[in-house]
Amino acid sequence: MGVDLHNKICGVMGTGKIGECFARIAKGYGMRVIGWDAYPNSKLVEEGLLTYVDKDELLQKADLISLHAPLIMGEGGTYHLIDEEAINKMKDSVMLVNTARGPLIDSDALIRALKKGKFQAVALDVYEGEDENVYTDRSDEALSSSITARLQIFPQLVLTSHQAFFTREAMQAIAVTTMENARNFNEGNDLGNAEVKAK
């Protein structure tokens, strides 16, 4: 049996472009939206879309938590943003969604909590330990010991194979941006949306 989202609290962790879009969807369902971000966007507050809270308050209050943060390694980063301590702060009936980066959630901690019946639902399009199975057809194989196999046993978990970006329109946009960035680099122009890593 499902639950109504109307009048529930949605916690958005990472309120960049995608997190903002998700917040708008949640607001459309009649949810109250709270957000957590290292760099809060005051325009979203002024608009009345969401209210920023600290991480602990979001974890404790949210009925649905959706992750939209970048993966940042090191102290103060987002690696294992959702670990055992974070999970313990969540409501027992929480819904958890990750379409951002797999290592934002500690897979072992998630599995331990799933075994205890912690979540109403979990939806993962990305997950820690997915690398050996993403983009590989394993439909004729028995996955006996991988993270994928362990996650698939839980009836309250929906697992997709890194598909959130995989639409015709998104692939076209990626191709256009890639070509524009390559042209700008070649011509010595501003790189725009390109991610440039220092050497």
What is the residue extent of each domain of the chain?
9-164, 167-199
- From the list 68, 128, 130, 150, the catalytic residue is 130
pLDDT band at 193 (very low <50, low <70, confident <90, very high): low
To the query of whether residue 101 is one of the catalytic residues in this protein, the response is: yes
Whether the pLDDT of residue 133 is over 70: the answer is: no
Element (H, E) at 123: strand 121-124
Choice between 17 and 160, residue whose per-residue pLDDT is larger? 17
Report helix, strand or coil for 145: coil
**Encoded tokens for 113:** 């909590």
3-state secondary structure 39-84: CCCHHHHHCCCCEECCHHHHHHHCCEEEECCCCCCCCCCCCCCECH
Whether the pLDDT of residue 141 is over 60: the answer is: yes
Element (H, E) at 13: strand 9-13
pTM: 0.82
Which pLDDT value is given to residue 140?
A: 79
Ranges 58-72, 92-106, 125-139: which has the least confidence? 125-139
- From the list 24, 32, 80, 162, the catalytic residue is 162
Which pLDDT value is given to residue 198?
A: 45
CATH number belonging to domain 9-164: 3.40.50.720
For residues 53 and 81, the answer to whether their CB atoms sit within 8 Å is: no
Query: pLDDT tens for residues 8-22?
Result: 999 999 999 999 999
To the query of whether residue 6 is one of the catalytic residues in this protein, the response is: no
Whether the pLDDT of residue 108 is over 50: the answer is: yes
Choice between 49 and 178, residue whose per-residue pLDDT is larger? 49
pLDDT band at 149 (very low <50, low <70, confident <90, very high): confident
According to DSSP, the β-strands at 32-36 and 51-52 are: parallel
- From the list 68, 101, 128, 150, the catalytic residue is 101
To the query of whether residue 168 is one of the catalytic residues in this protein, the response is: no
Element (H, E) at 97: strand 95-98
